[in-house]
Structure 1
Amino acid sequence: MSRRRIGFWYRLAAAIAKPPLVVLFKRDWRGMEHIPADGGFITAVNHNSYLDPLSYAHFQYNTGRVPRFLAKAALFKAPFVGMVLRGTGQIPVYRESTNALDAFRAAVRAIEQGECVAFYPEGTLTRDPDVWPMPGKTGAARVALMTRAPVVPVAQWGANLAMPPYARENKLQLFPRKTLKVLAGPPVDLSAFYDREPNAEVLKEATEVIMTAITELLEELREEKAPAEPYDHRRARSEQRRKAAEEGTS
């Protein structure tokens, strides 16, 4: 298996992004030894800020194994950003369309060619009020079970302090200078699922194993315990609507 060369476009993106990251933030990076030196693999990363893709990409770029992100297709339409995304081999995600499976196929193909594909299993910024990971979607587990590639869990913290998720005004809060913390853990053991039919239940169980590994790493970074149950945004929203309805009829 070959490994993706960093190439011109990734070096250009790094030349643009790295200087301000180095100047404006401190870094606490751990676990680089868990990033495979060769062969295809998956990283599964928590998502708590619009800024954290840069923080995480900086960390992994410095390992010599550049990630291919799954990114919203709309981003590829922006003139310069789209050019950089295509040049660096990022994978467009077309939600709720006939092209929705293309990202899945592209991820499998990239891993089979010896590359790294980075997943945000939550599928969006966390909506947990305390910024812990939410339950994950099954895409990363599905690709992992199909390819049997290593799944490296990664937790990050700090970008959310500079740019909080879902803040009314996404203005950078740069001072005092924040520390961008990234911690990669050993690959998650999914071997118990390899010989099982990848149905909805199996994919859900495998996803929970991945999310548990990410959450445990984040506990280490934050030096505190996560809630026993991950925050379920749909359930919380449903509960809010139910309470509002009860108050309206009382």
Structure 2
Amino acid sequence: MPSEKTLSFRLLAAPVIPVIAALCRLEVQDAHHLPRTGSFVLTPNHYSDIDPVVIGWSVWRLGRVPRFLAKASLFSVPVLGWALRQIRQIPVERSGRTHGNNPLTAAHDLTAMGEGVIVYPEGTLTRDPGLWPMRGKSGAVRIALENELPIIPVAHWGTQAVLPRWSKKISLFPRKTIHIKYGPAVDLDRFRGGALSQAALLEATGLVMDAITKLLEDLRGETAPAERWNPAEHSQTEYGAL
């Protein structure tokens, strides 16, 4: 099977990796949970704009290629948009659709070739004041269930020291340590093979968010709030905006 790490991906990764490596070091736990071959859906927590770079680097170091469902607006940025298209990232509009295509179909096309997809189930930076995962959306679960894929939770802690939430100012010195922990595939067997009702999708998404939160609790050595932050119950400007 051809390597996922195509020439385009290697050429684009070459200048990025030394920069991010100068900013931070990764301490990765339980990396064996990320499949070394075959398709998967990876679901990280999200609280800094630099999160995708860090998670992408971690996945790359483990021998896989990071492909994200990414905000469509990024594809309009000169140079960056061209680069994202070259490495087949998936643009998603705020409405939840790609430019003329369904993002779930685009994700299916990638996974049909044995590749992984990284989906932030929260959809945006968490609004939780303590940086805990907030209520998730069902896209990641739907991709996993409709394509019979494992959904792998992962949590990280430390990117806020490099780039705080809603900030544009990167901290260059000293070099930061970012802790990453992969978890086993979330057991969604009882949701497979049947109709995906909204209730089933919400329940399955809750299980995924529980798994991510547990990993983050392990990294932080703290206990998350008993009730997960629900952005629908709070003002969008209460804790800032993207």
For the pair 1:32 / 2:31, whether they are aligned, the reply is yes
SS in 2 for 1:117: strand
Which residue number corresponds to residue 231 of structure 1?
229
Q: How many residues are matched?
A: 236
Which residue number corresponds to residue 221 of structure 1?
219
**After superposition, where does 1:207-218 map in structure 2 within 5 Å?**
207-218=205-216
Long gaps (5+) in structure 1: 241-250
Contact 1:134/1:230 (<8 A) preserved: yes
Shift of 1:101: 5.2
Structure 1 counterpart of 2:171, from 173, 190, 196: 173
Summarize deviations over 1:202-223 as a string: whole Å, max 9, x none: 0000100111111101111111
**After superposition, where does 1:22-171 map in structure 2 within 5 Å?**
22-96=21-95, 99=99, 102-167=102-167, 170-171=168-169
In the alignment, residue 176 of structure 2 is paired with which amino acid? K
Normalised by the length of structure 2, the TM-score is 0.91
SS in 2 for 1:79: coil
Structure 1 counterpart of 2:191, from 182, 190, 193: 193
In the alignment, residue 93 of structure 1 is paired with which amino acid? V
SS in 1 for 2:10: helix
Runs of 4+ aligned structure 1 residues displaced above 6 Å come to none
Contact 2:23/2:162 (<8 A) preserved: no
Shift of 1:3: 6.9
Once residues 10 and 57 of structure 2 are traced to their aligned partners in structure 1, the CA distance between those partners, rounded to angstroms, is 11
Long gaps (5+) in structure 2: none
Normalised by the length of structure 1, the TM-score is 0.89
SS in 2 for 1:179: strand
Contact 2:135/2:231 (<8 A) preserved: no
Aligned residues: CA RMSD: 1.8
The alignment-based identity, stated in percent, is 42
Once residues 101 and 207 of structure 2 are traced to their aligned partners in structure 1, the CA distance between those partners, rounded to angstroms, is 24
Shift of 1:4: 5.7
SS in 1 for 2:68: strand
Kindly tell me: are residues 230 and 3 of structure 1, through their superposed partners in 2, closer, same or farther at Cα, counting changes over 3 Å? farther
Contact 2:91/2:98 (<8 A) preserved: no
SS in 2 for 1:237: coil
Summarize deviations over 1:90-131 as a string: whole Å, max 9, x none: 011123268575211101121122110000000001111100
Kindly tell me: are residues 130 and 190 of structure 1, through their superposed partners in 2, closer, same or farther at Cα, counting changes over 3 Å? same
Once residues 150 and 61 of structure 1 are traced to their aligned partners in structure 2, the CA distance between those partners, rounded to angstroms, is 19
Contact 1:3/1:113 (<8 A) preserved: no
